[in-house]
C-alpha cells in the first residue's frame, strides 16, 4: 500500500478559532481488513534513540533523521518518509500504539518524541508491502533483561514483571481497538508477527548471558501460547551496538545465542535472526558517542527496522518486490519488452576474442578487459545475476560514449567482494555504489563469494537506480554531479574520474568489467528492457 499522508487539520482549525480544541478528526480506515497486527518489544534500543533533529554542533548534524533524508548517500533510500514539502509523512494505513502515544505512524515514536526506533522503517515497510491496515503495538522499557524482567514462565523461577506487563498491554489494545483507533472498521484483526530487539542487560551479566538462548527459545514458545497463535512469525534483531569492532566476550556470546535461538529446528520458517552489526555507524558520523544506544544514529535505527521488516516479509511469504518508498525489488523479466542482453555466441558484443566466453549460461572473462554492447542504449533496465570470487572487483557500466576511454566517460555500478579486502575500501568503492560518486545505502547487501546475487539497474533520463538482492541501494541524479572533483556531499572524487557526470551523454554502450585486480567475476541471466 502506498503511504497515506493524513495530516489531520480541517475541522480542528475551525474548533480552535472558537477556542475549543475538538481533538482529531478521523476518517475511514485506509487499509483493508483484517487488521494486521505486529508487536514490537524489547528494551531501550526498541524504544529508540535515533535523533530526528539535526544539531550542527554534533558532527554537523550527521546521523540525524533530518540529515539522512537530505544526504545524497541516503536520500533515495529515505525519500518515502517525507512529503513534497519536506514534512514527515503521517501514514493513515499504519497505526501505532506506544503507551500514551498513538496515531498514524510518523517520526517521533522513539523513546522520546524527538527520536525514532526500529518501528519507524518497520512500519513504513510493512505498510508498503501489505494492502491491509497495519497496527504496530510497541512495548519497550529501558534497562530490562530477558533473564529477569522479561523472564518467561517456561524458564522457571519468578515470571518477569515486564513479561506479564507486555502481554497485558497487548491484550488491552486488541480488546479496545475501536477506542484507541476510532477509524477501525471493526472487521477483525490478525496477529501477524512479533519483533524483538533487546540484550544489553543480559550481556553485562554472566549468568544471564549463559542462559540467554534457553530464555529466548522459551520466550517465543510462551508468547505464542499466551497469545494463542501457533508459529507466530518472530524476528530477533541482534544486539550489535559496536558493530564488527565488538570484541567483548560476553557481547559476542550473547549475539551468538540470539542467532542460535532462531536456528532451533522447531523455528524453521517461522523465526528469523537479523544481523545488525553492519548497521553500526561510528561516533564521528553520529549525534552522540553512546555506543549502547547505537550512537543515537537515526540511520542505524532505520536500517534495523528495515532489516526486521524484510525478515518478517520472508516469514510471511510476502514478496519483497516493493520495499517501502524505494521502488525496489526485481522485475519479472519474462514479460513483454524483455530480451537477452547478449547472444549466446556474443556476436552482438564488442570484446577481444578469447577473453570473454559463455559456458553453461555463465559469462566470465580471463583478462581485465571489458565487454561492451554493440548497441547503444538510452532509457533502459538491465537485470542480471552475478557471483563474486574472493576479492572480486568488477562492475556494470552504463552511459558509455567512448569505450576506449571509458573510465571518465561512463558511470560504473560497482561489484565487489565486500566480505574480503574491499570491506576496508572507501564506501563509494563497495558493492552497489556508483563508483567514486555515491555510496550504497547499506554495505554487505552483496552475498559472500560463491553465492549468486541479483542486480537491477534502471537508467531513466539522468536518474540511475540500483537494486541489489531486493534492496534499493542507490539512486543517482546525474544532474547534481556538476564537478569532477567533489561529490554533492562534499567528499572527493577519485582523480581518474575527471569528467562531471552531469555532462555525459545519456545514450551509450553498456558494459561489464573483466577480471579486474586478478579476481574473476561471473554473470548469468542477463536481460534488458528499453523504456
Number of domains making up the chain? 2
Rounded Cα gap, residues 295 and 46, in angstroms: 14
- Is the domain of 272 the same as that of 354? no
462 and 478 Cβ atoms separated by less than 8 Å: yes
CATH number at residue 346: 2.60.120.560
Burial of 275 (0-12, 13-18, 19+ CB in 10 A): middle
Q: What is the pLDDT of residues 68-98, one digit of tens each?
A: 999 887 888 888 999 989 999 999 999 999 9
Q: What is the pLDDT of residues 333-346, one digit of tens each?
A: 877 889 999 998 99
Q: How confident is the model at residue 307 (pLDDT cuts 50, 70, 90)?
A: very high
* Containing structural domain, residue 486: 338-530
Provide the pLDDT for residue 278.
Answer: 85
513 and 392 Cβ atoms separated by less than 8 Å: no
Please give the distance of CA 173 from its chain centroid, rounded to a whole number: 28
399 and 410 Cβ atoms separated by less than 8 Å: yes
Rounded Cα gap, residues 20 and 7, in angstroms: 19
Provide the pLDDT for residue 360.
Answer: 83
Provide the pLDDT for residue 27.
Answer: 66
Residue 466 β-bridge partners: 457, 474
CATH number at residue 122: 3.40.50.1110
Q: How confident is the model at residue 1 (pLDDT cuts 50, 70, 90)?
A: low
Provide the pLDDT for residue 425.
Answer: 86
Vertex 317 angle, CA 313 and 319, to 5°? 70
Q: Measuring CA to CA, which residue among 58, 423, 470, 60 is closest to residue 243?
A: 423
Rounded Cα gap, residues 59 and 51, in angstroms: 13
Q: Is residue 267 part of a domain?
A: yes
Average pLDDT rounded to a whole number, residues 354-371: 92
% the chain with pLDDT above 70: 93
- Is the domain of 205 the same as that of 268? yes
- Per DSSP, 82 falls in state B
- Is the domain of 296 the same as that of 247? yes
Report whether pLDDT(4) > 50.
Answer: no
Residue 37 β-bridge partners: 135, 191
CB contact burial 112-135 (16+ within 10 A = b; e otherwise): eeebbbbbbbbbbbbbbbbebbbb
Q: Is residue 61 part of a domain?
A: yes
- Is the domain of 97 the same as that of 129? yes
Amino acid at each position: 500500500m502506498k503511504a497515506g499522508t493524513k495530516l489531520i487539520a480541517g475541522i480542528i482549525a475551525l474548533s480552535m478559532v472558537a477556542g475549543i480544541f475538538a481533538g482529531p478528526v478521523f476518517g475511514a480506515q485506509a487499509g483493508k481488513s483484517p487488521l494486521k497486527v505486529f508487536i514490537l518489544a524489547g528494551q531501550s534500543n526498541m524504544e529508540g534513540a535515533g535523533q530526528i533533529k539535526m544539531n550542527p554542533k554534533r558532527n554537523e548534524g550527521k546521523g540525524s533523521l533530518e540529515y539522512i533524508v537530505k544526504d545524497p548517500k541516503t536520500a533515495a533510500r529515505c525519500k518515502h518518509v517525507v512529503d513534497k514539502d519536506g514534512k514527515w509523512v503521517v501514514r493513515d494505513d499504519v497505526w501505532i500504539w506506544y503507551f500514551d502515544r498513538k496515531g498514524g505512524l510518523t517520526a517521533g515514536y522513539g523513546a522520546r518524541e524527538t527520536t525514532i526506533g526500529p518501528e519507524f522503517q518497520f512500519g513504513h515497510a510493512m505498510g508498503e508491502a501489505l494492502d491491509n491496515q497495519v497496527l504496530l503495538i510497541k512495548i519497550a522499557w529501558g534497562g530490562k533483561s530477558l533473564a529477569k524482567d522479561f523472564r518467561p514462565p517456561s524458564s522457571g523461577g519468578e515470571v518477569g514483571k515486564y513479561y506479564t506487563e507486555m502481554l497485558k498491554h497487548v491484550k488491552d489494545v486488541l480488546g479496545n481497538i475501536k477506542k484507541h483507533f476510532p477509524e477501525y472498521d471493526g472487521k477483525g484483526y490478525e496477529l501477524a508477527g512479533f519483533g524483538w530487539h533487546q540484550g544489553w542487560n543480559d550481556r553485562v551479566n554472566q549468568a544471564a548471558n549463559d542462559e540467554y538462548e534457553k530464555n529466548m527459545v522459551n520466550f517465543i514458545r510462551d508468547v505464542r501460547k499466551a497469545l494463542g497463535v501457533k508459529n507466530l512469525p518472530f524476528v530477533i534483531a541482534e544486539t550489535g551496538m559496536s558493530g564488527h569492532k565488538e570484541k567483548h566476550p560476553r557481547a559476542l556470546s550473547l549475539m551468538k545465542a540470539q542467532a542460535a535461538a532462531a536456528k532451533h529446528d522447531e523455528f524453521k520458517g517461522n523465526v528469523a535472526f537479523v544481523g545488525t552489526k553492519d548497521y553500526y555507524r561510528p561516533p564521528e558520523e553520529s549525534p552522540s558517542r553512546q555506543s549502547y544506544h547505537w550512537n543515537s544514529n537515526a540511520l542505524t535505527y532505520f536500517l534495523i527496522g528495515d532489516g526486521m521488516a524484510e525478515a518478517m516479509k520472508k516469514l510471511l511469504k510476502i514478496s519483497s518486490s516493493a520495499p517501502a518508498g524505494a521502488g525496489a525489488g526485481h522485475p519479472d523479466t519474462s514479460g513483454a519488452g524483455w530480451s537477452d542482453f547478449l547472444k549466446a555466441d556474443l556476436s552482438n558484443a564488442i570484446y577481444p576474442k578469447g577473453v570473454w566466453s559463455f559456458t553453461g549460461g555463465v559469462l566470465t572473462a580471463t583478462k581485465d578487459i571489458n565487454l561492451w554492447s554493440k548497441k547503444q542504449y538510452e532509457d533502459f533496465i538491465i537485470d542480471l545475476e552475478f557471483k563474486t570470487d574472493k576479492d572480486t572487483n568488477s562492475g556494470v557500466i552504463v552511459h558509455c560514449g567512448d569505450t576506449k576511454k571509458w573510465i571518465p566517460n561512463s558511470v560504473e555500478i560497482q561489484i565487489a567482494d565486500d566480505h574480503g579486502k574491499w570491506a576496508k575500501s572507501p564506501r563509494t568503492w563497495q558493492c552497489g555504489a556508483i563508483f567514486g560518486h555515491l555510496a550504497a545505502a547499506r554495505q554487505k547487501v552483496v552475498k559472500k563469494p560463491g553465492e549468486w546475487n541479483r542486480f537491477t539497474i534502471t537508467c531513466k533520463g539522468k536518474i540511475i537506480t540500483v537494486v541489489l538482492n531486493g534492496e534499493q541501494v542507490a539512486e543517482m541524479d546525474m544532474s547534481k554531479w556538476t564537478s569532477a572533483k567533489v561529490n554533492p556531499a562534499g567528499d572527493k572524487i577519485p582523480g581518474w574520474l575527471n569528467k562531471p557526470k552531469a555532462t555525459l551523454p545519456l545514450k551509450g554502450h553498456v558494459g561489464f568489467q573483466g577480471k579486474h585486480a586478478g579476481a574473476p567475476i561471473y554473470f548469468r541471466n542477463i536481460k534488458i528492457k528499453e523504456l
